[in-house]
Structure 1
Amino acid sequence: MLTESDNISYRFSCPGPGVFRCNLTGLMFVMTKKAELQYWTVQWDERVLQPAGKTAAGPLFNIQSSPEGAVSQLHLPHCETMDAPLPEGLLSVVHITDDGMSILKLLHITDTHVVVKVLHLSAFGLVTNDEYRNTANRSVNGQVLLFLQKPQSETQKQYLDVFLLPRNVPLSEVIARHQDVDYIKAPPRCQLIVGESYSVDCPEAALIQPDKAVFDLEFEPNYHPMFEIRLPTNKDKMTLKVQDQTNPEVWKYEMDLKAPRRRHLKRNLPAKVLVQQTLSVPAETPNVLADEKLKSVRTQFIERVTDSNLNTLLGKLLDQRIINDGEMESAENPIRAKKAGALIDMVRKKGPEACSALITALCEVDPFLSKLLNLQ
């Protein structure tokens, strides 16, 4: 049974075959033809997960396509740090329909996504085995989100809500559920440890509640703040730190309380309609243009890509069977520039689909270089 969350729906039109990325949710779609995609989050049903010994490891997305059969692969964002090889069974992708839940075979896991082949669209989500849920010292990519309540003139106080969440929770989903407060745009990224106790330090605060809280991987429909900070309204600036038992500065931000950084959502429209009308979901260039894009950035790619990232790219292309073992060996060269040239030329000869795969891999491995080359 699927229970639709009271949130937002995402929609965009894919102009043709290619690899497309939703900048709001992090989902990536490999398309075989022109189609319109629409998707939204639905609530996980513990009655389905528990008998299978599974726990949610990301949001559950219900995906539709018109026409059907246009999506061949789905990339779901994960929050694992990938500092070491993941234990077998740590991440799985489930497909939930009216007939029940099935576990899909993984094609591969990148630094940011889990990739599966899809035949029929319905609800897809990441899960982990129950045994891994609270593994000791399991570090994940997290995010700190701040929401400021309106000042209370009668008490001369204002409240700041602090959220500690896995990074694969879409910001748009959290904002949609907290439309009565103002989102404070701040650099959110940090690493968090599952099961670790965290606290917040803010010298300007009149009160922080609670004193400590344990971080867990929660992907519930209603995201709740982990801490509430009471601030005097006469303060212009504040310094906020998130800390654990051993690290006094997991995350730090100096905030100007008077700066116009707050973003409002309209209050008089349902969130689902609001985002469809006001937010378009950017997509990457179709792979019919991927060959020309690689050709245009060949010189810069050769000059700037690092040797370690070249090795990672070769490994990803081998895993996806874009290249074979012999081609990987032929591309190996102690001179970095020659290796980079061999890689990009070899992929370009294989056609637009292979070029699109290399562009996608580069965006994941080196987002800064891919942005510099205008490949994102």
Structure 2
Amino acid sequence: MRFSEDIYLEAEQILSSFAFKSCFEVEQDCTSYQFLGPEGCVTIELVDKSTNTYSVYFPTAGFYLWSATGLGFMVRMAVTVRIALGSWSQYLELALQHSEQWLVAGPLFDITAEPEGAVAAIHLPHFISLQGEVNVSWFLVAHFKDEGMILEQPAWVEPFYAVLENPSFSLMGILLRIAKGTRLSVPITCTTLIYYHPHPEDIKFHLYLVPSDVFLTKAIDDEEDRFHGVRLQTSPPIEPLNFGSYYIVSNSAHLEIIPQELKLTYRNPGEVQPFSKFYAGLMKEPIQLEITEKKHGTLVWKTIVKPVDIQLGAGAAPPPFSGASFVKEHHRELKARMGDVNGVLDDLQDSKVITENEKELVVQEKTQQRKNETLLSMVEKKGYTALELFFRSLCKWDPYLVAYLRQQPL
């Protein structure tokens, strides 16, 4: 049975309302270990760190979103949900995972809910980009039960998550099934992670290129922390990258990088993740890092690491969050990734940031990227307040994109 329209609208209103509130009151935003709910933030209990098992109690009916992970629940009544992280490799043959017909598309969760039937729908996160040739009919929810793997079609698929209605809980996650003989590169949203290891004479860097899976990032954070690695803040690649493709890492200082070539694949959290390593001596000059796609030589990502970044990472408090700064910092990513901006345009017109004529200029652009670029340039010229209002509206209409770009770690 499909969601009633009223229940669906309630989920959207709650999601938008609290994303909107979190943008207005950043200092009161829910932490990485809390769900956004109809009455505020609901704390998640870490039951077992070794198995990444969490427990959370939702006190009333409504929609609850774990924004740090993209996992969401629409519940009919008060319910206790237990969430553990599973490993695809234990249940899905490695050859099947990496075949051309099947791809792991997101985290694997072991979920239970008490009482049964309390959850009306679940949002399961995925990192497949819906751009290009990807068909939403390829998305399947895999349940691993005593009788084996059972596949279920989600009710619908959105960027960053798929919705399963009236779910029966088990060990579950999203797979992408591609028809045999289909030859295409599947685009996925990715994250670049840079860690430095301080040393009086020779600073070492580790660079990872991985699918955008918050649990995968957390596992890498934990592993790097064991060896005193410090993560530097970076933006993800602007465009989706292709699963299974090879990417070349280079730098402006002509430092030796080992290995220079990385293959974009999925490995379970807890498994050894591939990374590139290089040494930068005393780090007296900035270093520009680049990643290019091997086959066509296309630049897909770059950043600059300055000596001051190392000093800040060593102990200074991070700067306070600003929506205006967020928009400026992520201009290129927003231009490439924003979808339907009609809701944002309405908000900006209502708040008198843009006029009716300016709104029409955006609407009349022929491509989505041109609409995004025109809108961003228009708002940036109007100053700080306009950027703040734009950011708050973006949170309201596309909270998953904002959460992805903010990359809040667990």
**TM-score w.r.t. structure 1 length?**
0.63
Output the amino acid matched with 1:256. Answer: K
Aligned to 2:170: 122
Alpha carbons of 1:132 and 1:5: their partners in 2 closer, same or farther (altered >3 Å)?
Answer: farther
Separation in 2 of the partners of 1:120 and 1:86?
27
Alpha carbons of 1:223 and 1:71: their partners in 2 closer, same or farther (altered >3 Å)?
Answer: farther
Aligned with residue 362 of structure 1, among 386, 394, 397: 397
Aligned to 2:77: 33
SS at match of 1:109: strand
Number of equivalent positions: 283
Give ranges in structure 2 of 5+ residues lacking alignment. 1-47, 316-343, 364-393
Q: Is 1:177 aligned to residue 227 of structure 2?
A: no
Separation in 1 of the partners of 2:66 and 2:178?
29
SS at match of 2:138: coil
Alpha carbons of 1:206 and 1:92: their partners in 2 closer, same or farther (altered >3 Å)?
Answer: same
SS at match of 1:186: coil
SS at match of 2:221: helix
Separation in 2 of the partners of 1:236 and 1:118?
56
Aligned with residue 126 of structure 2, among 56, 78, 83: 78
Aligned to 1:344: none
Aligned with residue 221 of structure 1, among 241, 261, 270: 270
Alpha carbons of 1:224 and 1:202: their partners in 2 closer, same or farther (altered >3 Å)?
Answer: same
Separation in 1 of the partners of 2:146 and 2:207?
37
Give ranges in structure 1 of 5+ residues lacking alignment. 264-296, 311-358, 372-376
Alpha carbons of 1:5 and 1:136: their partners in 2 closer, same or farther (altered >3 Å)?
Answer: farther
User: Structure 2 matches for 1:164-313, cutoff 5 A?
Assistant: 164-170=209-215, 171-180=217-226, 181-190=229-238, 191-204=240-253, 206-235=255-284, 237-245=286-294, 246-257=296-307, 258-261=310-313, 300=347, 303=350
Aligned to 2:381: none
SS at match of 1:25: coil
Output the amino acid matched with 2:242. Answer: I
Deviation at 1:66, TM superposition (A): 3.9
Aligned with residue 141 of structure 1, among 168, 179, 189: 189
With a CA cutoff of 8 Å and minimum separation of 6, indicate the structure with the bigger relative contact order.
1
1:128-152 deviation per Cα after TM superposition (whole angstroms, max 9, x unaligned): 236679943332211111122232x
Alpha carbons of 1:33 and 1:174: their partners in 2 closer, same or farther (altered >3 Å)?
Answer: farther
Structure 1's consecutive aligned runs of 4 or more residues displaced over 6 angstroms after TM superposition are 50-53, 304-307
Output the amino acid matched with 1:260. Answer: L
Alpha carbons of 1:302 and 1:111: their partners in 2 closer, same or farther (altered >3 Å)?
Answer: farther
Separation in 2 of the partners of 1:158 and 1:9?
35
Aligned with residue 97 of structure 1, among 145, 148, 155: 145
- Does the CA-based 8 Å contact 2:144-2:150 persist in structure 1? yes
Aligned to 1:19: 63
Deviation at 1:365, TM superposition (A): 8.2
- Does the CA-based 8 Å contact 1:5-1:42 persist in structure 2? no
SS at match of 2:219: helix
Separation in 2 of the partners of 1:236 and 1:64?
52
Separation in 1 of the partners of 2:75 and 2:280?
49
Output the amino acid matched with 1:69. Answer: G
Alpha carbons of 1:212 and 1:360: their partners in 2 closer, same or farther (altered >3 Å)?
Answer: closer
Report the structure, 1 or 2, having the larger helix content: 2
- Does the CA-based 8 Å contact 1:57-1:219 persist in structure 2? no
Separation in 2 of the partners of 1:122 and 1:47?
13
Separation in 1 of the partners of 2:272 and 2:181?
19
- Does the CA-based 8 Å contact 2:246-2:263 persist in structure 1? yes
Quote the sequence identity (%): 17
Deviation at 1:165, TM superposition (A): 1.0
- Does the CA-based 8 Å contact 1:158-1:230 persist in structure 2? yes
Output the amino acid matched with 1:252. Answer: K
Separation in 1 of the partners of 2:177 and 2:90?
13
Aligned to 2:135: 87
- Does the CA-based 8 Å contact 1:148-1:161 persist in structure 2? yes
1:267-308 deviation per Cα after TM superposition (whole angstroms, max 9, x unaligned): xxxxxxxxxxxxxxxxxxxxxxxxxxxxxx9x838748989x
Aligned with residue 109 of structure 1, among 138, 143, 157: 157
Output the amino acid matched with 1:106. Answer: P
Output the amino acid matched with 1:187. Answer: S
- Does the CA-based 8 Å contact 1:19-1:360 persist in structure 2? no
Separation in 2 of the partners of 1:234 and 1:360?
38
Alpha carbons of 1:211 and 1:367: their partners in 2 closer, same or farther (altered >3 Å)?
Answer: closer
Separation in 2 of the partners of 1:260 and 1:132?
50
Deviation at 1:361, TM superposition (A): 9.2
**TM-score w.r.t. structure 2 length?**
0.58
What's the C-alpha RMSD, in Å, of the aligned pairs? 4.0
Alpha carbons of 1:147 and 1:74: their partners in 2 closer, same or farther (altered >3 Å)?
Answer: same
Output the amino acid matched with 2:210. Answer: L
Alpha carbons of 1:73 and 1:262: their partners in 2 closer, same or farther (altered >3 Å)?
Answer: farther
Alpha carbons of 1:83 and 1:262: their partners in 2 closer, same or farther (altered >3 Å)?
Answer: farther
